[in-house]
Amino acid sequence: MNIAVVGTGYVGLVTGTCFAETGNQVVCIDVNEDKVNRMKNGEVPIYEPGLELLFERNSRQKRLSFTTDLATGIQNADVIFLALPTPPGEDGSADLSYILGVAEELSHLITSYSVIIDKSTVPVGTADEVHKALAKNLDTNLFDVVSNPEFLREGVAVEDFLRPERVIIGTKSERAKKIMERLYKPFVRQGNPIYFMDERSAEMTKYAANSFLATKISFMNEIANLCEKVGANVDQVRIGIGSDSRIGKRFLFPGVGYGGSCFPKDVQALAKTAEVNEYDFQILNAVMDVNKRQKQVLVDKIVDYFGGDITGKTIAVWGLAFKPNTDDIREAPAIYIIEKLLALGAGVKVYDPEAMDNVKKIFGDKISFCSDQYEALIEADALAIVTEWSVFRTPSFSVIKQLLKSPVIFDGRNLYEVDFMREMGIHYESIGRSTT
């Protein structure tokens, strides 16, 4: 098929590249001229494992191309994916101006039947709004609007796209259904399901999935905080409840809160949808409150250790991205933690394998950026671990003890065993476990 993808963020670029990998002709469209030029020159603008290889191959073989011109990009398209940002407004509602603006433009450009696909995470009812925007200047026989939410995890997004657990497609149109089925058939050859439903149910499925996972995270963080007070070990609790098939093992790791481009925004948006529809979604409000407080936990541990005053102290921070294997810092707990440390008078030295360029745009010269994880420890009073990159899992503890002024680690991801830290003679505080 001929496919147009409007928007080249994490979702749009992965979507376009992976569809090109299965033999489709894909044009990716973005208003950012500099970004488009970089992609034309072979530069992948985001860090996502596995993406660069597919990007290079499909660009070289002319199946993947880029433009800033919407009319050119959709000229021969059978399907048009809208992978545009939906940032939260001040009230938590999703901003649909980008999506509806492009839909308005498309209403003047489409000349033959196309399937318009909402790939962005959007509130319930967005497909109807997109349909209205298109129908202002376009015969309704020339298009169908489909909801096709993405379930891509940053860090493994390419794998998730090529081998999806399931594909959700919301449409009442039989014509659109057949096209979408043909489009996704190469990705579900091992038998994973394609679920067809109405558009509003598809939109709700995406929000419900992310909000449920966020709820598991916040619940486990609450359990971890209580474990510290009663003398239980959250790792053992996690293993115990995770063995129950009704609960499952995933998303039970306590830490410093969730971040990223999806969970914070999607939970807010679903809560706002509930509010607009006069429903008091109490669990979601609690999830957001817990997550906000959890980002403060590591800061409180650091301040308490230093007797309530960290003025003049230097804290090394390992990990800036909201999760490993990405350079995405949107709603990253590390950003909140660094801001708090600076406000309390501490100096901060940081290292992250991929996200430092993005963080420099926020802090500039207010913090020190280091070339590797050990450089960050030099003359630091303590180490705070915020993102669980693999490179941090088995460091040289003898080097850590040598470089830090005192052997003090605050671990926001529970990377190390408490007993081992005790044997190493390191003051070690983690989440939901005893302090050495």
CATH of residue 253's domain is 3.40.50.720
CA angle, residues 287, 227, 389, in degrees to nearest 5: 70
Domain end point (choices 150, 174, 197): 197
Could you tell me if 163 and 306 lie in one domain?
A: no
Instruction: Give the C-alpha separation, 320 to 294, whole Å.
Output: 16
Contact 434, 233 (CB under 8 A): yes
Could you tell me if 28 and 139 lie in one domain?
A: yes
Q: If we measure between CA atoms, which residue out of 281, 290, 215 comes closest to residue 251?
A: 215
- 227 is known as an active-site residue: no
CA distances from 68 to 8, 9, 35, 65, 110 (A): 11, 14, 9, 11, 17
Catalytic residue among 18, 28, 227, 262: 262
Could you say which DSSP state residue 307 is in? T
Could you tell me if 149 and 241 lie in one domain?
A: no
Could you tell me if 255 and 110 lie in one domain?
A: no
- At a CB cut-off of 8 Å and minimum separation 6, what does 78 contact? 1, 2, 3, 114, 115, 179
Q: If we measure between CA atoms, which residue out of 185, 187, 146 comes closest to residue 165?
A: 187
Q: Is residue 38 part of a domain?
A: yes
Could you tell me if 139 and 251 lie in one domain?
A: no
Q: Is residue 367 part of a domain?
A: yes
One pLDDT digit (tens) per residue for the chain, 436 residues: 999 999 999 999 999 999 999 999 999 999 999 999 999 999 999 999 999 999 999 999 999 999 999 999 999 999 999 999 988 887 888 899 999 999 999 999 999 999 999 999 899 999 999 999 999 999 999 999 999 999 999 999 999 999 999 999 999 999 999 999 999 999 999 999 999 999 999 999 999 999 999 999 999 999 999 999 999 999 999 999 999 999 999 999 999 999 998 899 999 999 999 999 999 999 999 999 999 999 999 999 999 999 999 999 999 999 999 999 999 999 999 999 999 999 999 999 999 999 999 999 999 999 999 999 999 999 999 999 999 999 999 999 999 999 999 999 999 999 999 999 999 999 999 999 999 9
Structural domain span for residue 381: 232-429
Q: Is residue 208 part of a domain?
A: no
* Angle of helix 282-305 versus helix 199-230 axis, rounded to 10: 40
Could you tell me if 276 and 368 lie in one domain?
A: yes
- What DSSP assignment string belongs to 343-360? HTT-EEEEE-SS-HHHHH
Could you tell me if 414 and 335 lie in one domain?
A: yes
Could you tell me if 265 and 153 lie in one domain?
A: no
Q: Is residue 223 part of a domain?
A: no
Domain end point (choices 151, 171, 197): 197
**How many structural domains compose the chain?**
2
Could you tell me if 388 and 304 lie in one domain?
A: yes
Q: Is residue 215 part of a domain?
A: no
Could you tell me if 362 and 408 lie in one domain?
A: yes
CA angle, residues 210, 323, 292, in degrees to nearest 5: 65
Amino acid in position 136: K
Give the number of other Cβ atoms within 10 Å of residue 210's Cβ. 23
Domain end point (choices 197, 223, 253): 197
Q: Which two tokens stand for residue 17?
A: 């590249």
Instruction: Give the C-alpha separation, 331 to 126, whole Å.
Output: 24
Q: Is residue 60 part of a domain?
A: yes
Q: Is residue 267 part of a domain?
A: yes
Instruction: Give the C-alpha separation, 85 to 260, whole Å.
Output: 13
**How would you list the strands of the sheet with 382-385, edge to edge?**
368-369, 347-351, 314-318, 382-385, 408-411, 427-429
Q: If we measure between CA atoms, which residue out of 143, 92, 97, 91 comes closest to residue 120?
A: 97
| Residues paired with 28 in a beta bridge | 5, 66
Could you tell me if 191 and 237 lie in one domain?
A: no
Could you tell me if 192 and 319 lie in one domain?
A: no
Residue with tokens 């059978």: 78
Q: Is residue 227 part of a domain?
A: no
